[in-house]
């Protein structure tokens, strides 16, 4: 470890910033969000365009002398003249301050890390001043996976800290309590803004922690949409939940590239289904989710696309609620949207489609058949899920209901993935197209004038490759 990042409390700390350029303004903006006693020395006054500092300290229009730096905790020097920097740094150190000379690591006692500032939670990335741009890039990647409600979780913890210490005097018992609090429903409730419920859940955990005998930690379930297959199309929230999961119950449509983004030691349970092979019946999947959650596990039910679009997520949500298991839903990019975008198919278009309909070709046995008259209407795009096995019947029903046999169609197999394949044709030939394609991956069917756009997209890709 070449550098050590220390956490310095800002309450009442005196922070002095010297300079009147953009570097000085950046430090003012940074510390303007803290409770520090902030002092600004700007020999030339506030620069033009410093309106972002409204409410900040008024500039003192001269360089500081020794008395001005008395009691300073941190001093930032953003002055071009190196000799002046030397002198000011010496004065600051004599006053007992730690010194940072902007862009001059050799003159500094410390370097400013790239910071992720979430009020109560601050994360720093440092390279010892050798590669600040790299530090910023790393910071951006970390920030992308942090929940927006992290501050609320930390605020709740701060409000209960003294109560926890008084109620659970044993250090290891307190540690177990905080692990449960931050990895269970309380943290999720706080992050989503449900502060009162989160506080009640933390107090429930605290009561349990103060007892001699405690039961297992309360588990929970996240029903998560994995998107169409490209791991970069995971939502930030889905990625965070995956990386915190104890158990992942996943479908056949979830590729290994997405499972690789999950916590490495999470237990994976495959419950995939295909049209002719239901390896685990739905009621058993729901029972498995409940059983794992009741063991105190953080369960992720990972489903291709969006769990609430032909994913049976609604049934699983209802089952968790009936069982009294805390459950949260993380939506995903549904396959129709992801595959259409990847193939260059606009689902709506001012000239061709004023509506889009998602429909499944696999209706529930004994259930209501699709309304083919409505689905065959003009100026709309149909996105047909689970349609490859019934492509010929679907085409015949649409044509019988009045859809033009020459209506453009597209088959998108493995949409958004490296092995994506797009096949274009017309409605009258849809069944034969599927038969000729020998599909092996998940496929969606698109029906409507907009489906023809994918052919133009393929031509553009071919030209680019050439």
Query: pTM of the entire structure?
Result: 0.62
The verdict on whether 404 is a catalytic residue reads no
Name the stretches of the chain with pLDDT < 70: 48-55, 172, 211-217, 273-279, 456-466
Phi, psi of 263 (to 5 degrees): -55, 130
The per-residue pLDDT for 432 is 96
Cβ atoms 321, 429 nearer than 8 A: no
The per-residue pLDDT for 456 is 65
Residues 6+ positions from 213 with CB-CB distance below 8 Å: none
Cβ atoms 406, 448 nearer than 8 A: no
CATH of domain 14-112: 3.40.50.720
CATH topology of domain 342-465: 3.30.950
Helix (H, G, I), strand (E, B) or coil at 189: helix
Phi, psi of 23 (to 5 degrees): -65, -40
Query: By C-alpha distance, which of 43, 51, 54 is closest to 77?
Result: 43
Catalytic residue among 104, 155, 252, 273: 273
CATH of domain 220-333: 3.40.1010.10
Calpha distance 297→289 (Å, rounded): 10
Phi, psi of 269 (to 5 degrees): -125, 120
The H or E element containing residue 178 is helix 171-183
Catalytic residue among 251, 252, 322, 404: 251
Residues 6+ positions from 365 with CB-CB distance below 8 Å: none
Structure confidence by residue, pLDDT tens digits, 50-96: 544 666 788 999 999 999 999 999 999 999 899 999 999 999 999 99
Enumerate the domain spans of the chain: 14-112, 150-209, 220-333, 342-465
The per-residue pLDDT for 354 is 95
Calpha distance 352→384 (Å, rounded): 18
What are 363's two structure tokens? 């209706």
Q: Is 444 exposed, middle or buried (0-12, 13-18, 19+ CB in 10 A)?
A: buried
The verdict on whether 251 is a catalytic residue reads yes
The per-residue pLDDT for 464 is 55
The per-residue pLDDT for 127 is 83
Residues 6+ positions from 189 with CB-CB distance below 8 Å: 195, 197, 198, 201
The per-residue pLDDT for 460 is 53
339 to each of 217, 362, 391, 398, how far by Cα in Å?
A: 40, 19, 18, 22
């Amino acid at each position: 470890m070449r550098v050590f990042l220390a956490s310095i409390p800002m309450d009442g700390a005196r922070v002095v910033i010297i300079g009147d350029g953009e570097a000085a303004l950046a430090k003012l903006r940074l510390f303007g969000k803290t409770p520090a006693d902030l002092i600004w020395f700007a020999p030339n006054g506030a620069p033009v365009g410093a309106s972002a500092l409204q409410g900040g300290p008024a500039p003192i229009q001269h360089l500081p002398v020794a008395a001005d730096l008395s009691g300073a905790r941190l001093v930032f020097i953003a002055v071009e003249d190196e000799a002046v920097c030397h002198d000011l740094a010496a004065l600051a150190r004599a006053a007992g301050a730690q010194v940072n000379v902007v862009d001059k690591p050799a003159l500094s006692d410390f370097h400013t890390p790239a910071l992720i500032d979430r009020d109560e939670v601050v994360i720093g990335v440092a390279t010892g001043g050798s590669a600040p741009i790299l530090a910023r890039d790393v910071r951006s990647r970390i920030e992308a996976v942090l929940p927006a409600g992290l501050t609320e979780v930390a605020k709740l913890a701060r409000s209960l800290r003294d109560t926890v210490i008084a109620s659970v005097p044993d250090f290891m018992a307190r540690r177990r309590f905080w692990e449960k609090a931050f990895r269970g429903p309380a943290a999720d409730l706080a992050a989503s803004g449900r502060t009162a419920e989160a506080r009640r859940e933390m107090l429930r955990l605290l009561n349990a922690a103060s007892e001699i005998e405690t039961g297992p930690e309360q588990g929970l379930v996240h029903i998560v949409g994995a998107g169409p297959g490209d791991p970069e199309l995971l939502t930030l929230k889905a990625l965070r939940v995956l990386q915190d999961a104890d158990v992942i119950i996943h479908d056949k449509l979830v590729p290994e590239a997405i499972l690789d983004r999950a916590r490495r030691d999470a237990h994976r349970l495959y419950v995939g289904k295909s049209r002719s092979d239901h390896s685990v019946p739905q009621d058993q999947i729901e029972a498995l989710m409940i059983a794992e959650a009741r063991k105190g596990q953080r369960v992720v039910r990972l489903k291709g696309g969006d769990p609430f679009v032909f994913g049976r997520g609604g049934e699983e949500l209802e089952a968790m609620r009936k069982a009294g298991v805390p459950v949260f839903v993380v939506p995903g990019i549904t396959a129709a949207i992801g595959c259409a975008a990847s193939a260059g198919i606009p689902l709506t278009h001012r000239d061709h489609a004023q509506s889009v309909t998602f429909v499944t070709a696999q209706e529930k046995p004994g259930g209501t058949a699709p309304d083919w008259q409505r689905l065959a209407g003009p100026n709309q795009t149909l996105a047909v899920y689970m349609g490859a096995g019934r492509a010929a019947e679907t085409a015949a029903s649409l044509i019988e209901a009045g859809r033009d046999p020459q209506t453009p169609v597209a088959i998108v197999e493995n949409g958004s993935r490296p092995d994506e394949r797009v096949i274009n044709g017309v409605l009258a030939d849809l069944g034969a197209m599927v038969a000729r394609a020998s599909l092996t991956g998940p496929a969606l069917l698109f029906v409507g004038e907009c489906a023809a756009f994918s052919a133009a997209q393929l031509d553009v890709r071919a030209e680019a490759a050439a």
